[in-house]
Amino acid sequence: AARPSSDDAAIPAPLPELFDRQARETPHRTAVVCDGATLTFDELNRRVNALAAGLSAQGARPGTRVAVGLPRSIDLVVAILAVMRTGAAYLPLDPSYPADRLAFMIEDSQ
């Protein structure tokens, strides 16, 4: 398959908008499967909205960063989408890293 070039059409919409559209169009379809657990688009959207509201209440907005330190899981997908929904950037942190490495990554992201 050919690689996209800089001349190709731009992405049609930001990821949160594309996700919202998919959740509206196919609410009962499976969105995420991880370790035997599944969420439909509707369930995922509800969890993303709830977390995004909480993050916004804590000050997450465009121009801010939110550290996300979760293992690969449905909760990680929810967290990343929720941060994106607020307009903030997410800082992925691997919880298996030593505390001093995580502290450096957080400090360095400022």
CATH code where residue 86 lies: 3.40.50.980
Quick one: the chain helix, strand, coil %, rounded to 5? Answer: 45, 15, 40
Residue 9 lies in a domain: no
| Residues facing residue 65 across a β-bridge | 89
- 42 lies in which domain range? 15-108
User: Can you give the pTM of this predicted structure?
Assistant: 0.84
Answer whether 88's CB lies under 8 Å from 66's CB: yes
> In the predicted model, is pLDDT for residue 96 greater than 90?
yes
Which DSSP category does 11 fall into?
Answer: P
Instruction: Look at the chain and report how many structural domains it folds into.
Output: 1
Residue 20 lies in a domain: yes
Q: Work out the percent of the chain whose per-residue pLDDT is above 90.
A: 84
Can you read off the two tokens belonging to residue 16?
């949160």
